[in-house]
Structure 1
Amino acid sequence: MKIYKAYNLHIASELEMPELTEADGEPDIVIEFGKISNNTIIQNNSGDYLFGEMPDIGKFAFQEGRKVIIEPELEVDESLLRVVILGPLLCVLLGQRGLLVLHASAVNIGGQAVAFLGGRGWGKSTLATAFHTSGYNVLTDDVLPVKITLQKPLVFPAYPQFKVWEDAAHSLGHNTDHLSFIYKNSPKFSYKFSDGFQQTPLPLYRIYVLDKGEEHQISNVQPQEAFVNLVRHSRAISSMTPQNILTQHLQQCTQLVQQISFRRFTRKPALEDIPELVKMIVNDVLETSKGKQEEKINV
């Protein structure tokens, strides 16, 4: 097994993961192949294991955030299997380890993590790639794990890869002839990078809830709406999620709403305006930070 580093964890995997950075250390998570039978499920129904299945991909058994056993379908595409491992499967393991896992990207602005929350196709990866092109360090492209603490919530960095649409890649100056698809017949390209990756955790300062509209606009989000969006855009929360993890998740969402600020970022679908969007967000973050500092001085 090779050992990799992602999400502030050492991950040992029987399947090679070229998307990840190799590392040394004792594994926190083990990914291995094995047979998952009905007897396996019956013998481990006390709660030690969580079982799942994806059509045409395989069966999975998750053990307390420390291990996932995979029984893949015959002839499943290896690149697609890696996408599933790095996405849904790791989301389950991160959730079992007590992290709040969101469908969001995040960048480093002024030494703090600023995140973009939204569904598929809402522009999370495009914004993260645009910030990277503009010289900002990126923490994560799609899976955002947050450690909720009594002080500041922390964002753990993922791995140095973007998943970008072809038109977005072109608009940001990337030649897709030099990029490969994430998996066979995927609509997105894989863009790997080394410089500009934030390798250490950062405190989470703000979440921008992405929306589409007729003009570019940043506005306030009320706490109740922020909570609804956190729940809506959570990763690995489904009908098979154990009640204790679901309860913990809702408590984490409530605490996060109380700890950080939320803003709605509405944009019209114009890729040529992306540099302007980066400036809008940076100015909004810096103006708010300056206002808070002045408030502290006046107090």
Structure 2
Amino acid sequence: MSKFYYTAYGLRIGSEISLPLLKEIQTDTVDLTVKFGNISEIPPLAPTKIHRAGLDAQFAQSDGRLWLDWSPIACFMAANGNELIVDTNQTDVKILSLFILSEALGLILFQNGYLLLHGSAIQLNNKGVVFVGEPGAGKSTTVAAFAQKGVSIISDDMVCIRIDEMGKPSLIPAFPQIKIWEKSVEGLQLSKNDLNVLRTGSTKFSWHESVSFEEAAVPLEQIFILSPPKGENTEISQLDKSEGPVALLSYFPLPDLLLRGGQLKDHFEKSVTIAQTTPIFRMSRPADFAKLYAFVDYMKTTI
């Protein structure tokens, strides 16, 4: 029996587990149930590129079920896009929330047919802008700089894209949180009074309470692929439409084993649709915070 009811990524969620970052709702119907359970039979696990809280996840799939194992913290099973089973002895709500509201929830979104990217997104003038890139490229820092200027965030860490029957992509809001390293906190001169340490012993912070959050889906307007600074000047170049789908493949946030056969075909076709309708840019991250704020101001006046 669910104790809590939330919304995130357009889903009505009934959960046995407290997820304080999510917006509470009242509902008689849920799209997703999150509950504790014993996961006893798992197919052979394979290593993944997914790394969280010092642990590398392992993955398995079979007959509409997907598993992510972060032993000894927790094991997750996503079933049929509407049920997430959590097998854990962990009682720390922060730790459980960190793992549930990440790739584990991403498995459910994948089962529901959304295209997912490892990135962050904002809303500018009712249009969505996405920032993707390798770890350390500056996605969350960039989004935090926009948030400081009063811009609403849509998601951080994982971007969820829905493509409608007309082929138009839109961004589905996640929940109000930006995760940023201490170095970025200091560079942005954020007050730590407004932040929470992500987990005990971590130098990464969660900005949640005072951040502006967009609750409605918005059309996808632009995608930026961030890279580390290249000298003093920020370099921006637009990709050809033919380059976009292959470029986006690099930023799939879930296990690569999911992109096989028909699932790879479906993902690539969605990426082609996005590349045909959405400008995709490569951008070297601004070399310092003054240049980052200048980029924010420029985007606010041009989107």
TM-score range, shorter chain: 0.7 to 0.9
Aligned equivalent of 1:253, options 268, 271, 276? 271
Name the Cα RMSD after superposition. Answer: 2.2
For structure 2, the residue ranges without an aligned partner over 5 or more in a row are: 45-60
- 8 A contact 1:79–1:184 mirrored in 2: no
Which of the two has greater helix per residue?
Answer: 1
Question: What amino acid is the match of 2:295?
Answer: L
Task: Give me the whole-angstrom Cα distance separating, in 1, the residues matched to 2:255 and 2:273.
Answer: 18
Q: How does 1:204-223 map to 2 (within 5 A)?
A: 204-212=220-228, 213-214=230-231, 215-223=233-241
Normalising by structure 1, we get a TM-score of: 0.86
Normalising by structure 2, we get a TM-score of: 0.85
Alpha-carbon distance, 1:220 to partner: 1.2
| Cross-structure match for 1:167 | 183
| Cross-structure match for 1:2 | 4
| Cross-structure match for 2:74 | 58
Alpha-carbon distance, 1:197 to partner: 1.1
1:187 and 2:206 aligned = no
- 8 A contact 1:80–1:184 mirrored in 2: no
Query: Greater shift after overlay, 123-132 or 53-62?
Result: 53-62
Give the fraction of aligned pairs with identical amino acids, expressed as a percent: 28
Distance change >3 Å, CA 240–CA 228, structure 1 → 2: closer
Task: Give me the whole-angstrom Cα distance separating, in 2, the residues matched to 1:52 and 1:15.
Answer: 18
Task: Give me the whole-angstrom Cα distance separating, in 1, the residues matched to 2:202 and 2:269.
Answer: 36
Query: Greater shift after overlay, 1-10 or 263-272?
Result: 263-272
Cα deviations across residues 134-182 of structure 1 (Å, max 9, x unaligned)?
1212111221100012242010111111111112223333212552211
- 8 A contact 2:181–2:205 mirrored in 1: yes
- 8 A contact 1:60–1:68 mirrored in 2: yes
- 8 A contact 1:166–1:176 mirrored in 2: no
Q: How does 1:273-284 map to 2 (within 5 A)?
A: 273-283=291-301
| Cross-structure match for 1:263 | 281
Q: How does 1:232-243 map to 2 (within 5 A)?
A: 232-239=250-257, 243=261
| Cross-structure match for 2:134 | 119
| Cross-structure match for 2:21 | 19
Distance change >3 Å, CA 279–CA 82, structure 1 → 2: same
Query: Greater shift after overlay, 201-210 or 235-244?
Result: 235-244
| Cross-structure match for 2:215 | 199
1:145 and 2:160 aligned = yes
Alpha-carbon distance, 1:238 to partner: 2.2
Task: Give me the whole-angstrom Cα distance separating, in 1, the residues matched to 2:131 and 2:32.
Answer: 27
Question: What amino acid is the match of 1:100?
Answer: L
* Local SS of the residue matching 1:86: helix
* Local SS of the residue matching 1:239: helix
